[in-house]
Structure 1
Amino acid sequence: MPFALAIVGRPNVGKSTLFNRLVGKRLALVDDQPGVTRDLREGEARLGDLRFTVVDTAGLEEATDDSLQGRMRALTERAIAEADAALFLVDARAGVTPVDEALADLLRKSGKTVLLGANKSEGAKGAAGALEAYALGLGDPIELSAEHGEGMGELLAALQPLVDAHVSHEAETDVAVEDGDDDAPRVPTDSRPLQIAVVGRPNAGKSTLINAILGEDRLLTGPEAGITRDAISVRADWGGTPIRIFDTAGMRKRAKVQEKLEKLSVSDGLRAVRFAEVVVVLLDADIPFESQDLRIADLAEREGRAVVVAVNKWDAVEDRQARLADLKEAMDRLLPQLRGAPLVTVSARTGRGLDRLLQAVLKAHDVWNRRVPTARLNQWLAGMTEAHPPPAPGGRRIKMRYMTQVKTRPPAFVVMTSIPKEVPESYRRYLVGGLREDFDMPGTPIRLTLRGQGDKNPYKDRKKSTPSRLRKHLGKGRADEGR
């Protein structure tokens, strides 16, 4: 396991800004509003020649009850316990506060190696405030400016011996593990896990579902809607399959998204959808297939992701057989572009249905990667056009000459035809539906492109004119007559 550093501190001291600086990407949401980060976010940090895992945590507060702040504190304390060291950030401009002193006591009791960082130390006011950090009794403070990148050399010098000692210890106890065959990219491996994004409306149970999959309370949950703000990714082994699963913020209707922070959260969730291979659209069994659910599913299809529809809170449903039949009918009617996509009922609270969900995800991923041989495609195309010939606009017959698959993830096909612009959308849907049924590709997005075979006649679009050789001959004859 790589060296893990947890960045901790009270709200709004710049933890997420420093996290983004260390990973070299804007992974964590950053805003002037305190308390933006609520969940734990991990990233691969680079600092000089050092490579380690950095964990961004929620702002530590003194709450210890079952409130949202209390649950956030418990999650951060867990991150400290699991990390190899903690970087305790204080705000040099604000100076040391009573909350900082209480958190320093908590870190001392944890028994972990603690580095003290005085963030926002740029300028005279910051430098003066950094001196107050000596009073915490955690050693010399490292003067930092996460926003401007100052103090990174001093942080590197402090981390170097800790990381080196960790690497030496790991080398002594490490055991070689087979990582799989690199020539088989369709099979998830530890180095290339299956990427899954869980999306849905607020309070559908996304974080609870992921915790059930992980078998631990890794993500912050509760009755409050909109707890998750960042798109948090977690690596795990799900039934023997290496996965990287993304928990996303609940997506409301665009008209209702007014606050800047919520807009950033939704944008972060959309980026997770584009990054994923399989998207699990999580519905609430009490109010399934609302307009926003349909928009989210349509977004995943348009992005070309494999889609699995999961209905949560199934343990509270009565007359389940009739309800399931209604859900399948509604899905076929409201999401024709995903006809045949898996529909799985689960209970994130009790963990029931997770095995069926895993099988549906793996099947959707397999279909998403499917490739059909060209010979089979052309035999199929001949049968489809014979059973239902394309229309003949203006009396001109459209010929479907050749078909091939150009890519997977999702499956994409090209048909060479005589007049591609005249092929109606209904005939395109006829071909896509046939591909789904005949080659067992239910639910996955299918891209079908019609192309014309270029006419090689260079004079096709030119006006009739006298050939060049004849012009030269006539010109020469006129010249002879002039003599």
Structure 2
Amino acid sequence: MTAIVALIGRPNVGKSTLFNRLVGRKLALVDDRPGVTRDRREGDATLGHLRFKVIDTAGLEEADRDSLAGRMRAQTETAIAQADIILFMIDARLGLTPMDQPFADLVRRSGKPVILLANKAEGKKGADGIIDAYALGLGDPVPFSAEHGEGTSDLLEALAPFIDDEPEEDAEESGAGWDEVAGDDGVEGLDPNRPLRVTIIGRPNAGKSTLVNRMIGEERMLTGPEAGITRDTISVDWEWRGRKVKLFDTAGMRKRARIEEKLEKLSVADSLRAIRFAEVVVVLLDATIPFEKQDLTLVDLTEREGRAVVIGLNKWDLVADKQGLLAELKEKANHLLAQVRGVPIVPLSGLAGEGIDRLMQAVFQAYDVWNRRVSTARINRWLEGVLSAHPPPAVAGRRIKIRYMTQAKSRPPTFALFGNQLEHLPVSYIRYLVNNLREGFDLPGTPIRLHRRGGHNPYDKERKG
């Protein structure tokens, strides 16, 4: 079984920087201000010949249990309970603080092996802090620099007795794993051994983390009444009716004009990356204030990235006239979101756990549509009827000639149109073809790409020259 190592310590001692170094990618957000990390994040780590799971945690603080800081501490305590080994980190440049001793007692009481890591020990400034660290009673401190990688061999030597040299080979990636996705690249089908990647996005306080917690059946994500609690994109593995799913909870995204702080920009960039490498994106709306301009922007962004889209109407338990509102919102979606006409709209309540099965059914159906392929023969029989009903317009007295069409790839469905003077096809006619493709081949809600391929005229001397 793969060993689990938890990074524990006060805020701003460098836990996220070390996490990124161990997993080999910048998955966790890093900033100079303390308290950036809130949810715990897991990833597959490599250190020399060692392979293990690593958990990045929020900085330990003394706080009321019901406060945000208190809920963050509860997440850290859960990580301590899950861990096999604890890396207790201090800031060697600052030395010991009054907060370090009680937290050292906390990890000692866990009964787990504890390695004391004196981070930021590069140069002469950290020497005094390393000496002070002996007062914690956690053994010899390991001088280290997560930012520069100094002390790696010492950390390897300290961890080696607690970690098997040959962990399980089939251990799955549990970090963000951006490089695993076959996104807009034509790879077909869902490998049954690989989970479907579902990213949940929305405005702040739309209830994304609450929904994820209800789906997986545990308080995995930090939640509360405060808007913008989630900062990092956190992934969790889940199974729905025997089918593997990797859920990505993301930070709420506000209008770009309102984003001023560097940290929020980093959070939004992380969310955008989660959309780019998803297969299905659930855009979560607050049913009490649906289809705000930012909601439409997020759906449009998902469509432009070519991802399958599902709209979730959260907080449905707060709606009085459910039937009337649902009919109104579906009509409004077809009007406002013509680029994904027929997109599935699922009412649900993350807090009450209602509608989750309907949501997942819609997710897998959207995924199937996103992967759909149509034979060239069917497409051209369809094209013949469409052209007869409404031929393309003439340009400068010359008729635009469309010869045939084929599907180039799926994920999303992408079609190639061949003929003469296709570059002069009006946008309205392209829209006409796309809408008829959607209806003719049952492609509701999914992005559709239509590329024009012109024929080469061998008698065109200007082109030949």
- With the shorter chain as reference, the TM-score category is over 0.9
Task: Output one character per residue of 1:347-403: Cα deviation in whole Å (capped at 9) or x when no partner.
Answer: 000100000000000011111111111121122111211221111223312221121
| 3-state SS, counterpart of residue 408 of structure 2 | strand
Aligned with 1:186 (options 186, 189, 194): 189
Task: Output one character per residue of 1:82-130: Cα deviation in whole Å (capped at 9) or x when no partner.
Answer: 1221111011111112211111111111111211100001111202211
| 3-state SS, counterpart of residue 359 of structure 1 | helix
1:364 has 2:371 as partner: no
Distance 1:8 1:461, change over 3 A: closer
Alignment of 1:203-214 (within 5 A): 203-214=205-216
Mean Cα displacement is larger for which, 230-239 or 277-286? 230-239
**Which residue number corresponds to residue 106 of structure 1?**
106
| 3-state SS, counterpart of residue 54 of structure 1 | strand
Paired residue type of 2:239: D
Aligned with 1:289 (options 282, 288, 291): 291
1:160 shift after superposition: 2.0
**Which residue number corresponds to residue 138 of structure 1?**
138
Contact kept in structure 2, 1:188 and 1:243, CA below 8 Å: no
Alignment of 1:224-239 (within 5 A): 224-239=226-241
Task: Output one character per residue of 1:326-346: Cα deviation in whole Å (capped at 9) or x when no partner.
Answer: 111111111111110100001
Alignment of 1:234-383 (within 5 A): 234-383=236-385
Paired residue type of 1:143: P
1:156 shift after superposition: 1.3
| 3-state SS, counterpart of residue 357 of structure 1 | helix
**Which residue number corresponds to residue 157 of structure 1?**
157
| 3-state SS, counterpart of residue 161 of structure 2 | helix
Paired residue type of 1:431: L
Contact kept in structure 2, 1:403 and 1:413, CA below 8 Å: yes
Gaps of 5+ in 1: 175-183, 464-483
Distance 1:31 1:3, change over 3 A: same
Output the TM-score relative to the length of structure 2.
0.93
1:428 shift after superposition: 0.7
Distance 1:84 1:366 in 2: 40
1:207 shift after superposition: 0.3
1:2 shift after superposition: 2.3
Output the TM-score relative to the length of structure 1.
0.90
**Which residue number corresponds to residue 32 of structure 2?**
32
Tell me which of the two structures has the higher relative contact order, counting C-alpha pairs closer than 8 angstroms and 6 or more residues apart: 2
Task: Output one character per residue of 1:208-230: Cα deviation in whole Å (capped at 9) or x when no partner.
Answer: 00001111000000000010011
Distance 1:7 1:456 in 2: 67
Alignment of 1:459-470 (within 5 A): 459=461, 461=463
Distance 1:274 1:462 in 2: 40
Distance 2:453 2:138 in 1: 69
**Which residue number corresponds to residue 10 of structure 1?**
10
Distance 1:62 1:189 in 2: 45
Distance 1:459 1:412 in 2: 33
**Which residue number corresponds to residue 473 of structure 1?**
none
Task: Output one character per residue of 1:226-254: Cα deviation in whole Å (capped at 9) or x when no partner.
Answer: 10011111112123221111111111111
| 3-state SS, counterpart of residue 407 of structure 2 | strand
Contact kept in structure 1, 2:313 and 2:348, CA below 8 Å: yes
Aligned length: 449
Distance 1:304 1:314 in 2: 28
Contact kept in structure 2, 1:89 and 1:116, CA below 8 Å: yes
Distance 2:247 2:58 in 1: 20
Aligned with 1:406 (options 408, 421, 425): 408
| 3-state SS, counterpart of residue 126 of structure 2 | helix
More helix by share: 1
Distance 2:35 2:192 in 1: 36
Gaps of 5+ in 2: 172-186
1:166 shift after superposition: 8.4
Paired residue type of 2:25: K
Contact kept in structure 1, 2:188 and 2:411, CA below 8 Å: no
**Higher Rg of the two aligned structures:** 1
Paired residue type of 2:190: V
Q: Which structure 1 residue ranges, 4+ long, deviate > 6 Å from structure 2?
A: none
Paired residue type of 1:20: N
